[in-house]
Structure 1
């Protein structure tokens, strides 16, 4: 299955299919994952980081009103890595076991650029609909 930016993604029990950017009619869980994917790419464009730090950064970016499941973040990071959008390496830690540090690849920057354009279009459409709703409800 292809993710929003066209990268290859595989799910347990499913073959590889095709899907464009997530949009209306997509289940809320899919939209939430798309939000987390986008926030992860933004966090990684700022600096490389290990899982826990990235989870905290995603919380800062999307706000605490959206529950960010740490397990989901690690699964998404693994999918992004399989797609070649991010890479990882094990780093020693003075405070305990080694940590996996994730880095955004050039293809991840391009993916984020395409997602940003999609988000801008959707944001403009939502703002337009919100204004129409307010006018009609007034």
Structure 2
């Protein structure tokens, strides 16, 4: 595996003598090397797998998984800008899939509770009707 090389930037130290009086040292300017380590792009594969397995509304979880795998492939190939692009798309699709899954879950639970309450009301109404209208059994 090739090591990742980050761009470097030379920055003069604060205490160096750049022609300003009052600083100790000679005319030599000291520099330090600072590594600018950009964060590696995220691919969101675990989140995508969760969305595929859970509800997967409108196949958004599957699309997110495809973009996540593309982001991982681009990251392994060394194309960080492509990996960021695919990872960002996968993140957006995962957000939409998670929000829609939560909404569908809430709608399903509330509809189930509504049906149970209505059936309970219908059964109690039917019992009252049969008790009052059929005196010899029911």
More helix by share: 2
TM-score normalised by the chain length of structure 1:
0.31
TM-score normalised by the chain length of structure 2:
0.31
More strand by share: 1
> Max radius of gyration: which structure?
2
**Structure of higher RCO (CA pairs closer than 8 Å, 6+ residues apart):** 1
